[in-house]
Amino acid sequence: MKTPKRYLITAALPYANGLKHIGHLAGAYLPADIYVRYLKAQKREVVFVCGSDEHGTAIPIQATKEGTTAQAIIDKYHPIIEQNFKDLGIAFDIYHRTSDPLHHETASEFFKDLESNGDLETKTTQQYFDTQANSFLADRYIKGTCPSCGYSEAYGDQCEKCGKSLSPEELINPLSTLSGNAPIKKETTHWYLPLNRHEDFLRKWLLEEHTSDWRPAVIGQCKSWIDGGLQARAVTRDLDWGVKVPVTGGDGKVLYVWFDAPIGYISATKQWAINNNKDWNPYWNDPETKLVHFIGKDNIVFHCIIFPVMLKLHGNILPENVPANEFMNLEGDKMSTSRGWSIEMDDYINKWIKKENGGESLADCLRFYLNSISPESKDSEFTWKGFQDAVNGELVSIFANYVNRTWVLMHKLCKGKVPKIHTEFLDDDDNALLLSVKETKEKITALLEQYKFRDAQFEVVNLARLGNQYMQKKEPWILAKNIETNPTAQAKIDNCIHGCLQLTANLAILINPFLPFTAKKMCHLMKVVDKMLEWENAGNFNLLKMGYSLRPPELLFRKIEDEEIAAELAELKANAEAKKTKMENTTNAAEGAAAKNENGITPLKPEIVFDDFGKIDLRVGTIIEAKKVEKADKLLALIVDLGFEKRTILSGIAMHFNPEDIIGKQVTIVANLAPRKMRGIESQGMILMAEDAQGKLYFVSPSEAIASGSTIA
């Protein structure tokens, strides 16, 4: 494969509404950083961009909740996240932010370009609107009861208790978070990106050109989307936090966060170019640039379908690969900050990466374990015991111990200097060791180029293992015992230690992308400059000059103690328990009425006049047939007798009633509601249901049986 002229590597923009956990780190940032460090060691031209995603609706909502401003929130989290990455050795060339004017300008230009080329279309739809606040409500501005778990504080896009993704329409008793009132529906016009126009392009690009070199899960997900029928997606929203829609009719609207965020990669590149006096253009426009997006699997659609379409329309290059990782679970459960079941990067840093605790080496310990269980092909699981085992059993015992025993022996038997080679005593073992180093380097290189970071790291440790075996076979400490009687002993010792030292130098180069702090410390031990870490040096056994004196031994890592692990586990459980109690209180408080505002009562809808009510034609009907709608979990298809006619009515009650149990029931029907097709069947009316605090449904029926078709007023 031809080496690209330059690389542009991106890692998903973290959302600046809170701290990020180690699942995020393992998903995108760590693999990206390893790849970038490798490329840089190869002296390739590469720019690594990232930044805070600071728009979207969640941030202003959080601001309201915390009694502060959106700006204050992002100004709080942006620097913390940036510093967290630094502390963990994630070395972006630039960590930008989407609230920056340069980004606003870039995103605006992007939108205008697409708009003026006719690549967008507009549509008018009904959206929830808060009359009191005089504002349209984005999904996250609507709260209500989650239809699947009953949590009363679920948002219009997702329930934070059960994690189910929702749409505002699904919420039971939707309420505006601005005023606490029930929202109404109102017309609004938005710009859409018609993905459907680009199906042929996507099919060819993804399903023909990249089926074999992209990860199966990524291609599978894309295929699923394309086959499911591509829809136009709204690119604007009614909101005042974000990049203003820069064309006529855009007042009060901003670019939808998913449209503006990936453009953040471009504006970050521009800012990097300004800072470094470079030209950003080739990075996004020259086909000889290799663009790679590192993301988690939740981001696949945006980076493989939507953003590429945007890039194509805008005339930019397309990603060469999108090596999305699966998810990392924690101690048997999904990671979730809101549920308290996670390890925040910030917490880990404050607890573990303290000077008295081991400092930077503890950052590398985390990197080591996370990468060793990197969810490259399926979800994986972080356990504190696993962390301890990986660090103590492999990193310390195999890798660091190899370096340490080499250093100790070198000081004891070779006066602390790199010993001479005595070629007449070199044997097959010495040759085999050098050969192994060369082979391992090739293996690791190939694995890194294929984004197999877990396997690549394993190979480095394995090389240290070979070093231990080599030393074990040579037994220089035995030779040292008869140094007086055996004239060749010192020469053999010299050869062994020389080999071990050269191997250490190679290990430093090869471990560098994974454990940069450790590589640096090894350079310090060897008294060499960072330049030695360049990839081309790996595979050579002349990296340390004979006669050169090296520093005294120094441990690279400390062991992780059982008590530390026990403490972490206890804290994790306590944390989750606290959050759980908090949430249950919220849910319990809602019992007695479905969803309440601060006064504890479901708020009344806005007043209507009699004429409004008069428009509704309510009738008594009798269910004469009921069966489940195929391929729908919640729908029942009912035939209802209205006396003068029989109607098919669909109702979302399949989870609450067995079809055979409700035949013969008398119910209240909205008889003049416009018909609506669901799952291919037309529903000719609506059945009224009462709901109690537990979410249980009841039919609204006349107290005694009366004639079907009777009117209700």
Residues between 365 and 424 with contacts to RNA, criterion CB under 7 A: 372-373, 375-381, 383, 386, 389-390, 392-394, 396-398, 400-401, 404-405, 408-409, 412
- What are 21's strand-pairing partners? 344
| Interface with RNA in residues 87-146 (CB under 7 A) | none
Selected from 137, 310, 489, 556, the binder of RNA by CB under 7 A is: 556
- Structure-token match 């055996």, residue found: 486
Nearest distance, CB of residue 510 and RNA, angstroms: 17
Task: Please tell me whether residue 629 binds RNA under the rule CB under 7 A.
Answer: yes
Task: Please tell me whether residue 322 binds RNA under the rule CB under 7 A.
Answer: no
Nearest distance, CB of residue 95 and RNA, angstroms: 26
In sequence order, what E strands does 215-309 have?
232-234, 236-238, 253-255, 289-294
Helix (H/G/I), strand (E/B), else coil: 629: coil
Query: Which is nearer to RNA, 165 or 549 (by Cβ)?
Result: 165
Measured distance CA(276)–CA(73) in Å, rounded: 29
| Interface with RNA in residues 450-469 (CB under 7 A) | 454, 465, 468-469
Residue 11, φ and ψ in degrees, nearest 5? -120, 140
Task: Please tell me whether residue 326 binds RNA under the rule CB under 7 A.
Answer: yes
619-640 burial string, b = 16+ CB within 10 Å, else e? bbbbbeebeebeebeebbbbbb
Selected from 149, 632, 663, 700, the binder of RNA by CB under 7 A is: 632
Name the token pair of 320: 């060469």
Task: Please tell me whether residue 50 binds RNA under the rule CB under 7 A.
Answer: no
Nearest distance, CB of residue 640 and RNA, angstroms: 11
Counting residues that bind RNA (by CB under 7 A) gives 82
Query: Which is nearer to RNA, 86 or 558 (by Cβ)?
Result: 558
Query: Which is nearer to RNA, 6 or 334 (by Cβ)?
Result: 334
Query: Which is nearer to RNA, 46 or 654 (by Cβ)?
Result: 654
Task: Please tell me whether residue 216 binds RNA under the rule CB under 7 A.
Answer: yes
Question: Which residues touch 42 (CB under 8 Å, ≥6 apart)?
Answer: 534, 535, 536
Task: Please tell me whether residue 634 binds RNA under the rule CB under 7 A.
Answer: yes
Query: Which is nearer to RNA, 410 or 509 (by Cβ)?
Result: 410
Amino acid at 62: Q
Nearest distance, CB of residue 335 and RNA, angstroms: 10
Question: Which residues touch 101 (CB under 8 Å, ≥6 apart)?
Answer: none
Query: Which is nearer to RNA, 153 or 346 (by Cβ)?
Result: 153
Query: Which is nearer to RNA, 9 or 26 (by Cβ)?
Result: 26
Instruction: List the x/- string, 422-441, binding to RNA by CB under 7 A.
Output: --------------------
Query: Which is nearer to RNA, 148 or 316 (by Cβ)?
Result: 148
Distance (Å) of CA 514 to CA 37, 134, 332, 361, 441: 8, 53, 26, 12, 14
Task: Please tell me whether residue 569 binds RNA under the rule CB under 7 A.
Answer: no
In sequence order, what E strands does 566-643 have?
618-628, 636-641
- What are 417's strand-pairing partners? 549
Query: Which is nearer to RNA, 94 or 328 (by Cβ)?
Result: 328
3-state SS of 35-104 is HHHHHHHCCCCEEEEEEEECCCCHHHHHHHHHCCCHHHHHHHHHHHHHHHHHHCCCCCCEEEECCCHHHH
- Cβ 673 vs Cβ 686: under 8 Å: yes
Nearest distance, CB of residue 249 and RNA, angstroms: 26
Listing DSSP states for 186-238 in one string gives EEEEEEEEEGGGGHHHHIIIIIITSTTTS-HHHHHHHHHHHHT---EEE-EEE
- What are 622's strand-pairing partners? 641, 666
Q: How far is CA 366 from the centre of its chain?
A: 18
Query: Which is nearer to RNA, 133 or 673 (by Cβ)?
Result: 673
Task: Please tell me whether residue 340 binds RNA under the rule CB under 7 A.
Answer: no
Task: Please tell me whether residue 498 binds RNA under the rule CB under 7 A.
Answer: no
**In this chain, which stretch among 22-30, 60-68, 212-220, 561-569 interacts with RNA, using CB under 7 A?**
212-220
| Interface with RNA in residues 277-306 (CB under 7 A) | 297-298, 301
Query: Which is nearer to RNA, 46 or 400 (by Cβ)?
Result: 400
Nearest distance, CB of residue 70 and RNA, angstroms: 25
- Structure-token match 């306590």, residue found: 574
Task: Please tell me whether residue 514 binds RNA under the rule CB under 7 A.
Answer: no
- Cβ 29 vs Cβ 68: under 8 Å: no
Selected from 652, 666, 671, 708, the binder of RNA by CB under 7 A is: 652
Measured distance CA(421)–CA(414) in Å, rounded: 12
Selected from 342, 557, 572, 641, the binder of RNA by CB under 7 A is: 557
Task: Please tell me whether residue 651 binds RNA under the rule CB under 7 A.
Answer: yes
Query: Which is nearer to RNA, 93 or 139 (by Cβ)?
Result: 139
- Cβ 266 vs Cβ 53: under 8 Å: no
Selected from 227, 240, 442, 536, the binder of RNA by CB under 7 A is: 227
| Interface with RNA in residues 574-613 (CB under 7 A) | none
**In this chain, which stretch among 160-168, 418-426, 508-516, 584-592 interacts with RNA, using CB under 7 A?**
160-168
Measured distance CA(368)–CA(387) in Å, rounded: 9
**In this chain, which stretch among 173-181, 198-206, 508-516, 671-679 interacts with RNA, using CB under 7 A?**
671-679
Selected from 184, 434, 565, 686, the binder of RNA by CB under 7 A is: 686
Nearest distance, CB of residue 389 and RNA, angstroms: 4
Measured distance CA(85)–CA(25) in Å, rounded: 9
